[in-house]
Amino acid sequence: MPELLLEIAAEEIPAGYIEPALEALRAGFVKGLAERGFELPAEAVTVTGTPRRLVLSARDLPAASQARSERLQGPPADRAFGPDGKPTKAAEGFAKKCGVPLDALRVEGKYVVAEVRHAGGSAEEALMSLLPGLVAALPFPKSMRWIAGARTSFARPVRSMLCLLDGSPVPFSFAGVAAGRESHGHPFHAPEAFALRTARYFEYAEVLRGRKVIVDVQERRERVRACAEKAAEKSGGRLYNRNGISDALVREVANLVEWPGAVIGSFDEAVCRELPPEITVAAMTGHQRYFPIEDSEGRLLPVFCSIANRDPKGGGGAAVIRAGNERVLRARLADALFFWREDKKQRLDARLGALEGVVFHEKLGSMRQKVERTGSLSRWLAIESGQEDGVADAAARAALLSKCDLVTKAVFEFPELQGTMGRYYAKEDGEPSSVRQAIEEHYLPRTAAMELPRSQVGRIVALADKFDSIVGGFAAGLAPTGSKDPYALRRAALGAIAIIRAAKLFRNGPGLRKILERARDLYRQQGMLGGAGDELLARIADFLRDRLEVALLEDAGGRVEVLRAVLGAGFDNLTELDARLGAVAEMARRQGFAELCTVIERARNIYRKAPEAAGAGAEPRGALLQAPEERELFRAYGAVAPQFRAKWAMGDYLEASELYVKGFAGPLHAFFEKVFVNVDDQAVRANRLALVGAIYRLYAEAIADLAECAGQAKA
């Protein structure tokens, strides 16, 4: 079967653009071929690239497609045909678009449809029609136009294209560039053009390797890491990789170079000793993408490794590169040292006034107002949750100082160090260690992969900050929509959930509802959110429930119906929710669970549909029992309910669940098989509804609404 090789060569494409574009190239290629009758599994397509080329290779491409028919839906029938049955312009347009005569249109339901026959075609014909549009549609955060008078755009100007189907070029063009069989090697070491004979990817990759280009992204990453690690070892240390800094650099740098080569540089050791290591690392990694190096005890060394896009030893000018790198870093470190010394001249708490000029949001006040709210909320959270003496004071103090470093020179230059620099300045001011640590930790988790706050004060302040942002964001109309979340409220919600769950906070209060109410009330005390009532809190609760489904699905064994059943019983107490979820997930693996869910669903349906259920909460009376099956069910309820409530009150959710299953699975099934609930006698009917409702509510309101699992149980 034919093999395809496509290379789009351009000027330097930004590193962050490459991998999303490659995935779009793969997806668009597979989809476009399928639309043309060529079925190709995704694993048969390989995409890779460098800063100067995007590459797609497809193997086992069918030589030709089979003839096929396609059913296309058109306009509504009442628009396609007039009252007299004659076709309208809408029908004529649809028929023309489909390439069929008007009398071939037919009405199915409310719409007009057409059956379109596609003759089989060659792979070359399909590629000629697919590739120009595919290349033009590749998405980039920002695109360029470089041809006068044309609307053609791409990440960077396209300079050449290679496209071979086996040994023959596929004739198509984009941006005035015709595809052929030529490519180019490394711009410094081997810029000359060369021609390929075949579309075999391995041959293409080897030819490029001989011209100093490693085209495979993963291989380049491994080469970058190996170069950096060898340079660190040669310097007497190891790569500095706190918070995955070096791992992230490897991924980024691999898309900045085609032939990685390490160059070791150094800087003033005195600067290294005086500056906090995080500033030095930020100066190296932020713009320069240099790899920091530390010793075996974790101390930063006054050396670094840069990765050049050439072989420094093979005519690449290592000495020139080193001198340039050191000169740039020396200037950045001199600036950082000046900022550090200047910032220390003023205490953090003296900067609170400056926060009045920093807008949190036009509808939500200044950063000064935000830290005052989070300070009050932090103190309240600590007191309400019964924290140790001193935690409330420390949390309130840390929250008040938490944003003060935003107005320092160092954070203005290195914004990624917010919180971290606050910790250093708080230490210079003599603040307690708990306060210093919380100032830094309140931003955590910064990403899904990073650590959570380790200190209790840090957890409290982090939660106060996140809940304040969530409540204010929703009130200001900033709720996330689709892929848009400019104020990172989803991340704040997931972070708050993760902190509470990991530390098992607020087992004995306060619940989510009270926290949200308190956060809203603090805004009101500052004269904001006056009209924000229960509707706002309900929307936030729904939002948090959605985030909980994301966060807890793995703990539910991947069974979303189990998770929704547990959430159906409430999620105000997240620590209790975790325990309930564990119990129900365990029960879901046991025999008899599916059958119980099915009868519980029936109980819920009967209970909810009956008018008598509107009063909810009525207890069944033994004097009104008639059938043996309802007497047995009533007896089971009387025996199991007190034991169940006792186990539930002690937090023994698994034992409570076992009692419920053993006590009711059989009697409930027998009851529904033999007893008709909606009898004419109103008193008997109401009593049977009360019995069914009491048994349903017993578990559904305490642990999980098992009726949510019934659909999967039946399947």
- pLDDT tens digits for range 146-187: 998 888 999 999 999 999 999 899 999 999 999 999 999 999
Task: Report the distance separating Cα 201 and Cα 205, nearest Å.
Answer: 6
630 conformational bin, left if phi > 0, alpha if psi -120 to 50, beta if neither? alpha
SS3 120: coil
615 pLDDT above the threshold of 70:
no
Class of domain 574-714: mainly alpha
Q: Alpha helix (H) ranges present in 177-316? A: 201-210, 217-234, 245-254, 269-274, 277-285
Which amino acid is it at 540? Answer: I
SS3 681: coil
Query: Do 167 and 195 meet the contact criterion of CB atoms below 8 Å apart?
Result: no
Supply φ then ψ for residue 378, to 5 degrees: -65, -45
Candidate ranges 7-21, 84-98, 546-560; pick with highest mean pLDDT: 7-21
- CB atoms < 10 A from the CB of 685, how many? 18
Question: Does residue 233 contact residue 160 with C-beta atoms inside 8 Å?
Answer: no
**Which range, of 109-118, 349-358, 429-438, averages the lowest pLDDT?**
109-118
- For residues 290 and 284, what is the distance between their CA atoms, to the nearest angstrom? 5
Would you state the pLDDT for residue 119?
65
DSSP state of 177: E
Distance CA 543, CA 545 (A): 5
Q: Where are the domains of the chain?
A: 4-64+123-210, 68-118, 217-343, 357-552, 574-714
Q: Is 144 exposed, middle or buried (0-12, 13-18, 19+ CB in 10 A)?
A: middle
Specify the CATH number of the domain 357-552. Answer: 1.10.3210
pTM for the model stands at: 0.82
The residues facing 265 across adjacent strands are 304
Output the pLDDT for position 315. Answer: 61
C-beta of residue 698 within 8 angstroms of C-beta of residue 644: yes
Does residue 657 contact residue 590 with C-beta atoms inside 8 Å?
no
Each residue's pLDDT tens digit, 459-505 = 999 999 999 999 999 999 999 988 788 889 999 999 999 999 999 99
Check if the beta carbon of residue 383 is closer than 8 Å to that of residue 514: no
- In this predicted structure, the answer to whether residue 584 has a pLDDT above a threshold of 70 is yes
pLDDT reported for residue 614: 44
Highest mean pLDDT among 310-314, 353-357, 616-620: 353-357
- pLDDT value of position 156: 96
Residue 412: pLDDT above 90? yes
Q: What percent of the chain has pLDDT over 70?
A: 97
Residue 462's SS3 state is helix
Q: What is the DSSP letter of 163?
A: E
d(CA 539, CA 364): 18
Q: What is the C-alpha separation between 710 and 593, in angstroms, rounded?
A: 10
Rounded distance, CA 20 to CA 100, Å?
A: 39
Q: What are the b/e assignments for 240-276, b being 16+ CB within 10 Å?
A: beeeebbeebbbebbbbbbbbbbbbbbbeeebbeebb
Angle formed by the axes of helices 15-35 and 123-136, nearest 10°: 140
Give the number of other CB atoms < 10 A from CB of residue 590.
12
Q: Where are the beta strands (DSSP E) in 333-479?
A: 359-361, 365-366
Neighbours of 24 (CB within 10 A): 17
Given this model, what pLDDT does residue 234 score? 95
pLDDT value, residue 208: 96
User: Averaged over 630-650, what is the pLDDT?
Assistant: 93
- Measured CA distances, 358 to 328, 407, 449, 526 (Å): 31, 8, 30, 16
Over residues 80-99, mean pLDDT: 85
- The whole-angstrom separation of Cα 475 and Cα 478 is 7
Cβ(712)–Cβ(561) below 8 Å: yes
Cα angle: 366, vertex 489, 251; to 5 degrees: 110
Give me the chain's average pLDDT, please: 91
pLDDT digits (tens, 9 = 90+) for 382-393: 999 999 889 999
> What residues are paired with 174 via a beta bridge?
177
Averaged over 92-107, what is the pLDDT?
85
pLDDT, tens digit (0-9, with 9 covering 90-100), for 187-223: 988 999 999 999 999 999 999 999 999 999 999 999 9
Q: Would you state the structure tokens that stand for residue 4, as one six-digit string?
A: 């395809």
Tokens 């980039």 sit on residue:
140
Give the per-residue pLDDT at 616: 59
For the segment 222-240, the average pLDDT, to the nearest whole number, is 96
Whole-number Å distance between alpha carbons of 524 and 143? 45
Terminal alpha carbon distance of the chain: 42
Query: How much is the pLDDT for 327?
Result: 96
Statement: residue 67 has pLDDT above 80: no
